[in-house]
Structure 1
């Protein structure tokens, strides 16, 4: 495995992007920039009817306000996409279209619905978060999906990222370590019309051997190194996007590319902050 560090110019640009995001988030009253989803390590098992047993305490409290009309939510979504395009400079039209199509407010707890399209992460349940919209868009862009690929997401969370991925392919598989999150995400995705997404509860770092190899893999929590099992399930010519903790004390969004020869190269994209990897399901304690 060879590592290709980013140059000073790229690193400076990345830091500027993050600084802009922090500035905008502060301007609209955001939470700390703590990034996305879950998983960790328990035996894999299919997601089923356990969603019906979810306790109301697992979700944020209901906000006592009249929900915005669909047209208003659409305008908020369009404004979110403009920030991604004009502030961050992300110009991939397919990614922007996917972000504009998915109703993000359906994937956040009711208490945070009013902030659904703000440019910062939001808490969900069990100490997890839904990622900042720009980060969702950038990670999707880095996979370079063209349509029809076999894609694995590790860290389902609310299911939002998986829903975005369905706008590129119907072959989306996602793994979540926390049983209540996996069940609620599966239920939510089906209700919203993203029923092609296959959700599994289990050890995300073990991947999904039965449906491997994958053209693209996305990990939505921080790891200390590129997970070997996931690398083994990545096709030659495939790409993985994963937050990796660096020896410099920072976390870096990292792109992993596997050549047709099997040679692997990694490249840092920008500094990020994600939730840490979980080794067990906290809902079972």
Structure 2
């Protein structure tokens, strides 16, 4: 890609952050800077590059999507990250959310159930120099026990209930952001406290459904 094209995409990215994210109330500067630093156009199919910074989700193949920029920023901000966390992501997709997280935390562990997407995301992230992200092919419904507990968990596909194993793998004081529901979905924030889990519905959303074991447990 030429220097002129990169400069043009940077202008588009700055506009995305200013209009879609900052003006909608994302206050955390580190989140906005991470969104500015990740070239979203490299995470979408080639024929959609010019739409990469649109205000909406885009298809990435296999009936999956890359989330709307604002939703990525909102979910990331809700995690209240400080910089030294170990984060679990369920639903790698294109790898975009993992790349944003990688600029904000120490380690990102991300699981993708679709083989082609897992392979593409892993290759893409390695090519782009993200050395603090580990990609795993598998069903994320039960998390990644070997690397638990996690300081934060983010789920980018919607089950109709909150997976117990993901809560168990969250450390005390940790936060999880997950879309929950079938027809009516709500972005839900969970905070694991000493005496239980505090749960808050944040905003209505529309995510692809979580597949695999999550559907078997419905």
Aligned to 2:142: 206
**Cα deviation, residue 169, structure 1:** 1.4
Q: 183, 186, 195: which one pairs with 2:131?
A: 195
**Cα deviation, residue 188, structure 1:** 0.1
Partner Cα distance (1:99, 1:183) in 2? 23
3-state SS, counterpart of residue 77 of structure 1: helix
- Which structure shows the bigger proportion of residues in strand conformation? 2
Distance 1:94 1:86, change over 3 A: closer
Partner Cα distance (2:64, 2:112) in 1? 11
3-state SS, counterpart of residue 256 of structure 1: strand
Alignment of 1:103-122 (within 5 A): 103-122=39-58
Partner Cα distance (1:95, 1:262) in 2? 30
Relative contact order, CA 8 A, sep 6+: which one is greater?
1
Would you say the 8 A contact 1:175–1:201 is kept in 2?
A: yes
- Per-residue Cα deviation, 1:223-262 (whole angstroms, up to 9, x for no partner): 111110000000000000000117xx41000001101x14
3-state SS, counterpart of residue 161 of structure 2: coil
Give unpaired runs (5+ residues) of structure 1. Answer: 1-65, 281-285
Aligned to 2:189: 255
**Cα deviation, residue 67, structure 1:** 10
Partner Cα distance (1:177, 1:67) in 2? 36
**Cα deviation, residue 203, structure 1:** 1.1
Would you say the 8 A contact 1:177–1:201 is kept in 2?
A: yes
Aligned to 1:136: 72
Partner Cα distance (1:251, 1:72) in 2? 36
**Count of paired positions:** 212
- In the alignment, is residue 274 of structure 1 matched against residue 210 of structure 2? no
- Per-residue Cα deviation, 1:114-158 (whole angstroms, up to 9, x for no partner): 000111000001000000000000000000000110100000000
Partner Cα distance (2:116, 2:195) in 1? 37
Aligned to 1:18: none
TM-score, structure 2 normalization: 0.94
**Cα deviation, residue 170, structure 1:** 2.7
TM-score, structure 1 normalization: 0.72
Would you say the 8 A contact 1:170–1:197 is kept in 2?
A: no
Moved over 6 A (4+): none
Partner Cα distance (1:70, 1:201) in 2? 31
Aligned to 1:124: 60
Would you say the 8 A contact 1:84–1:90 is kept in 2?
A: no
Partner Cα distance (2:166, 2:64) in 1? 22
**Cα deviation, residue 87, structure 1:** 3.3
3-state SS, counterpart of residue 61 of structure 2: coil
- Per-residue Cα deviation, 1:162-194 (whole angstroms, up to 9, x for no partner): 000011113100000001100110000000111
Larger Rg: 1
Partner Cα distance (2:100, 2:196) in 1? 29
